[in-house]
């Protein structure tokens, strides 16, 4: 049994009713069309399917726009455009190819405010995150990869790399523009052409990116964007002219795609789910660690594949950590994503909210002890309070399965050996966090954690120069950095 927090009800800073909360809403207005077509061969066009889906602001439940649903004929056309554009794009002088990517990066920076607001409207994430993380990082991915385009001969010593051809890329809804950048930038830098499918609930910023491609004069067909749901993605993956598929999303869908591609000779990279451990040793700086735990699980409402959803705390400091964690969590603001003070925005969709609620219910019914912040929630929209469970057993559903929401499972451990065994006891292996002030311990633990990314005394840091991707069933292949170029190149031998 974990001890319950001492100051369970009293926040550390209590200003009573001294003043009213003053919201700081982002003022930028963003024009949104009523209807969006598909971006194929450099032009926006109506879908042959003649079908559209609504994209909803999850904070207000209002329909923002209608977005096309691409069918097989649309997908065929997009792939044909990418295939036709490939020979010229691959032959383009690499230094010129680089300049297109630099241009794209610059336009993203110039339109950053608009993109941030749109990302927040369409996906529900706090404006401070889309403004400070999603959009600047998306620009950085293009900037970073632009420079590689004419330096590919130096990436893999002793080998020359050639582009593969048409790359199909399917991305999730948690970091819509950033994931588009992660996928498109390395593919283009290596001389491939792309057909990208955004997630069905968050297509708008990818379509804005298509406008940027037009603005910078990117040759038609080099990037094509087809919107739609799973069927569109499946059609894309199955197409005979696709040489490589890159998918970010759930492990179940990743496995299905791997089965569908078996024997096809297509290249595949998968960036899938996780149940990442965050380990705090008793010699850690506890305030820093608590902040890292909050950053690890509540960033982007927990809609993060590498979220630190399993917290392991060394026994002796459990009570102190829980107490400070509670104070910190109670201070988080939940609500209007466009308010610059907001810490947790809206849950991305009604479907995801239902999933999260099911997991919270499972946590309660299986015997874990639930805590939730007392944050006031807006009446409209999809919301979930920051939630954490103590008394969690390793066998509990909430300790094993990816929730993809703001729900933390707290467990204790006694020895470093036990922490490692339990942290690695998962089919996933995407990321991990470790907190201790002892250097030799941190490197020992970091080297024995089975995870593709290990954050020491930090959590949820990302950079275009830093490879990202998982061990085990969190997928294969890396994105970002030097290693992230490999999936988009055929090395001569």
Candidate residues 289, 442, 487, 488; the one interacting with other proteins per rule CB under 8 A: 442
We find the least distance from the C-beta atom of residue 73 to other proteins, in angstroms, to be: 28
Binding status of residue 37 toward other proteins by CB under 8 A: no
Binding status of residue 263 toward other proteins by CB under 8 A: yes
Is 167 catalytic? The answer is no
Binding status of residue 452 toward other proteins by CB under 8 A: yes
Give whole-number Cα distances, 60 to 54, 124, 201, 335, in Å: 14, 9, 14, 11
Residue pair 456/446 in contact by the 8 Å Cβ criterion: yes
We find the least distance from the C-beta atom of residue 461 to other proteins, in angstroms, to be: 5
We find the least distance from the C-beta atom of residue 37 to other proteins, in angstroms, to be: 35
398-427: contacts with other proteins (CB under 8 A): 427
128-157: contacts with other proteins (CB under 8 A): 140, 156-157
We find the least distance from the C-beta atom of residue 475 to other proteins, in angstroms, to be: 7
Is 305 catalytic? The answer is yes
We find the least distance from the C-beta atom of residue 95 to other proteins, in angstroms, to be: 21
CA distance 175 to 198: 10
Nearer to other proteins, 357 or 450 (CB): 450
Residue pair 2/391 in contact by the 8 Å Cβ criterion: yes
Candidate residues 188, 272, 289, 399; the one interacting with other proteins per rule CB under 8 A: 272
Binding residues with other proteins: total (CB under 8 A): 48
Binding status of residue 18 toward other proteins by CB under 8 A: no
Q: Residue 171 burial by CB count (10 A; 0-12/13-18/19+): exposed, middle or buried?
A: buried
CA distance 387 to 336: 19
CA distance 71 to 68: 9
Q: How many CB atoms lie within 10 A of CB 369?
A: 15
Of 271, 330, 402, 479, which residue is the catalytic one?
A: 271
Nearer to other proteins, 202 or 251 (CB): 251
We find the least distance from the C-beta atom of residue 447 to other proteins, in angstroms, to be: 8
CA distance 191 to 196: 16
160-219: contacts with other proteins (CB under 8 A): none
Give whole-number Cα distances, 320 to 8, 278, 285, 324, 370, in Å: 12, 16, 12, 6, 18
We find the least distance from the C-beta atom of residue 161 to other proteins, in angstroms, to be: 11
112: phi > 0 → left, psi -120 to 50 → alpha, else beta; which?
Answer: alpha
Candidate residues 138, 146, 270, 344; the one interacting with other proteins per rule CB under 8 A: 270
Candidate residues 476, 485, 487, 488; the one interacting with other proteins per rule CB under 8 A: 476
Of 305, 306, 330, 384, which residue is the catalytic one?
A: 305
Binding status of residue 469 toward other proteins by CB under 8 A: yes
CA distance 141 to 183: 9
Active site residues: 271, 305
Residues in the site for other proteins, rule: CB under 8 A? 140, 156-159, 251, 254-256, 258-259, 261-263, 270, 272, 427, 429, 442, 446-447, 451-458, 461, 463, 465-469, 471-473, 475-476, 478, 481-483, 486, 491, 493
């Amino acid at each position: 049994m974990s001890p319950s927090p001492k100051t369970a009800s009293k926040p550390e800073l209590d200003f009573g009713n001294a003043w009213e909360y003053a919201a700081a809403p982002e003022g930028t207005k963003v024009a949104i069309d009523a209807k969006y077509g598909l971006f194929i061969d450099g032009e926006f066009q109506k879908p042959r399917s003649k079908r559209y889906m609504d994209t909803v602001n999850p904070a207000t439940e209002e329909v923002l726009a209608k977005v096309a649903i691409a069918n097989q004929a649309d997908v065929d056309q997009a792939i044909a455009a990418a295939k036709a554009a490939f020979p010229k794009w691959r032959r383009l002088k690499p230094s010129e190819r680089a300049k297109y990517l630099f241009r794209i990066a610059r336009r993203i920076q110039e339109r950053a405010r608009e993109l941030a607001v749109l990302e927040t409207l369409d996906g529900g994430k706090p404006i401070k995150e889309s403004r400070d993380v999603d959009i600047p990082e998306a620009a950085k991915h293009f900037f970073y990869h632009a420079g590689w385009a004419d330096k590919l001969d130096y990436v893999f010593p002793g080998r020359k790399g050639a582009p593969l051809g048409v790359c199909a890329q399917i991305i999730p809804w948690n970091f819509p523009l950033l994931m588009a950048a992660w996928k498109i930038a390395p593919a283009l830098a290596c001389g491939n052409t792309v057909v990208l499918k955004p997630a069905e609930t968050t297509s708008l910023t990818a379509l804005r990116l298509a406008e940027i491609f037009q603005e910078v004069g990117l040759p038609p067909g080099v990037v094509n964007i087809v919107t739609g749901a799973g069927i569109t993605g499946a059609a894309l993956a199955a197409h005979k002219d696709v040489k490589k598929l890159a998918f970010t999303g759930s492990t179940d869908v990743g496995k299905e795609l791997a089965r569908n591609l078996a024997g096809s000779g297509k290249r595949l990279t998968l960036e899938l789910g996780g149940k990442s451990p965050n380990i705090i040793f008793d010699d850690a700086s506890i305030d820093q660690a608590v902040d890292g735990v909050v950053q690890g699980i509540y960033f982007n409402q927990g809609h993060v594949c590498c979220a630190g959803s399993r917290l392991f705390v060394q026994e002796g400091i459990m009570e102190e950590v829980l107490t400070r964690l509670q104070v910190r969590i109670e201070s988080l603001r939940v609500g209007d994503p466009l308010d610059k003070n907001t810490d947790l925005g809206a849950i991305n969709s009604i479907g995801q909210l239902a999933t999260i609620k099911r997991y919270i219910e499972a946590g309660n019914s299986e015997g874990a002890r639930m805590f939730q912040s007392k944050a006031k929630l807006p009446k409209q929209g999809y919301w979930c309070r920051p939630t954490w469970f103590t008394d969690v057993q390793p066998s509990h559903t909430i300790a094993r399965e990816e929730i993809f929401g703001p729900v933390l499972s707290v467990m204790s451990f006694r020895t470093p050996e036990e922490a490692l065994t339990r942290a690695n006891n998962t089919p996933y292996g995407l990321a991990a966090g470790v907190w201790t002030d002892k250097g030799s311990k941190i490197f020992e633990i970091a080297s024995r954690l089975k995870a593709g990314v290990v954050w020491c005394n930090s959590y949820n840091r990302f950079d275009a120069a830093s490879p990202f991707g998982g061990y085990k069933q969190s997928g294969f292949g890396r994105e970002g950095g030097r290693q992230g170029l490999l999936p988009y190149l055929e090395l001569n031998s």
